[in-house]
Amino acid sequence: MTPTGLEVSPFFTLVWWVTAIGIVVAAWSVVFLRDVLKAALALIGSFLGVAGMFVMLNAEFLAAIQVLLYAGAISILIIFAVLLTRDVFRGNPSNRFERLAFFLAGALMFFLTFVIIATPWGQLKDAQLSPEAQAGVAQVFSNTTPIIGQLLVQEYVLPFEVASVLLLAAILGAIVLVREE
Amino acid sequence: MLAPIGLEHFLVLSGALFSIGLYGALAKKNAVVVLMSIELMFNAVNVAVVAFSRYIAPATTAQLPDTARFLLTGQVFAVFVITVAAAEVALGLALVLAIYRLRATVHVTEMNLMKQ
């Protein structure tokens, strides 16, 4: 879809850059902070920033899920694990692969950035859409939640059911693993 | 003045987030921090698929008969990724707690029971 009025506005660009820099700084803190508890709090900040990105991508339903599941449930689980293991005082040390991993991750980042910039996405994005098609696309992205619901119980009903079995197995497995004998 | 935000911006952000997560998952000793880094990588992938759904899907699915069904495939993928991430982190942390109870450590370098 061609950019609409809001997306080319300087305000959108400014908000995007602030959110993006916030996400990267928070993710960097997760990896490099010495205090594991503070790293978990930085992780929540990163999750909230990604929720903001979803809002900017017209995915409001995903943004809500992101806040509920990631910033709510998963981060609480992680903070519980940090507190229960009482290993906080040992800090957040690196193993002996630190330099190799840093080099690998940096090389991957440069490679991905190069590929993303070199790929001619414009040919895909600027394909000519008829006015009716553009109106339809705009309508879909103005209210995504009912369409996601329909997709989940029609096209993707099998993965949907498999996901429920997976969650059930995960619940049982977690209970069995941490149960007191 | 900064360029308007497009697909490339979201993809580069996603790549940076994924690389930071990869570094954390490979280089950290604390198993909980490794799990946190894996969550960062999941988030990076979600940003990428939702950006593709927003910027690429409209142009490539416009010729199909029922466009609305295919536009949001990326968002449905992200829903499934989030589901799997929730299951993964619950089981991973249960494993970490079980190992902590047995060995009193959460450092992956000291989880070498099968090596001894």
Total domain count, chain A: 2
> Is there a contact between A121 and B56 if contact means CB atoms under 8 Å apart?
yes
Residue A171: give the domain boundaries: 143-181
Q: What is the mean pLDDT of residues B47-52?
A: 93
Domain coordinates in residue numbering, chain B: 7-110
Whether the CB of B45 is below 8 Å from some CB of chain A: the reply is no
pLDDT at B106: 83
**Whether residue A4 is found in the same domain as residue A88:** yes
A34/B76 Cα distance (integer angstroms): 36
Tell whether A100 is covered by a domain: no
CATH architecture assigned to B7-110: Orthogonal Bundle (1.10)
Tell me whether residue A181 is exposed, middle or buried, using C-beta atoms within 10 angstroms of its C-beta: 0 to 12, 13 to 18, 19 or more.
Answer: exposed
Is A2's pLDDT higher than 50? no
State how far Cα A142 lies from the chain centre: 21
Residue of A47, A70, A90, A114 to mutate, testing the B interface (most B Cβ within 10 Å of its Cβ): A70
Answer for the pair A30, A46: CB distance below 8 angstroms, yes or no: yes
Tell whether A135 is covered by a domain: no
pLDDT at A68: 94
Question: Which among B4, B17, B39 has CB closest to A74?
Answer: B39
Interface of B with A in 51-90 (CB under 8 A): 51, 53-56, 58-60, 62, 67-69, 71-73, 75-76, 78-80, 82-90
Question: Which among B23, B35, B68 has CB closest to A31?
Answer: B23
Domain stop point among A51, A69, A93: A93
- The one-letter amino acid code at A66 reads Q
Distance in Å, alpha carbon of B56 to nearest chain A alpha carbon: 6
User: What percentage of chain A has pLDDT greater than the value 90?
Assistant: 53
pLDDT at B63: 65
**What's the pLDDT tens digit per position in A33-76?**
888 889 999 999 999 999 999 999 989 999 999 999 999 899 99
Tell whether A121 is covered by a domain: no
Tell whether A122 is covered by a domain: no
A102/A118 Cα distance (integer angstroms): 24
**Whether residue A72 is found in the same domain as residue A4:** yes
Tell whether A117 is covered by a domain: no
Tell whether A172 is covered by a domain: yes
**Whether residue A63 is found in the same domain as residue A2:** yes
pLDDT at B43: 95
**What's the pLDDT tens digit per position in A129-169?**
777 777 778 888 888 899 899 889 988 999 999 999 999 99
Please calculate the CA angle A141-B21-A100 and round it to the nearest 5 degrees. Answer: 145
**Whether residue A3 is found in the same domain as residue A88:** yes
B89/A181 Cα distance (integer angstroms): 23
State how far Cα A109 lies from the chain centre: 17
Tell whether A32 is covered by a domain: yes
pTM for this entry: 0.90
Tell whether A46 is covered by a domain: yes
**What's the pLDDT tens digit per position in B57-86?**
877 766 666 666 778 889 999 999 999 999
Distance in Å, alpha carbon of A108 to nearest chain B alpha carbon: 7
Mean model confidence pLDDT for chain B? 87
Tell me whether residue B32 is exposed, middle or buried, using C-beta atoms within 10 angstroms of its C-beta: 0 to 12, 13 to 18, 19 or more.
Answer: buried
pLDDT confidence of A4, banded at 50, 70, 90? Answer: low
Higher pLDDT pick, B4 / B39? B39
Domain stop point among A25, A60, A93: A93
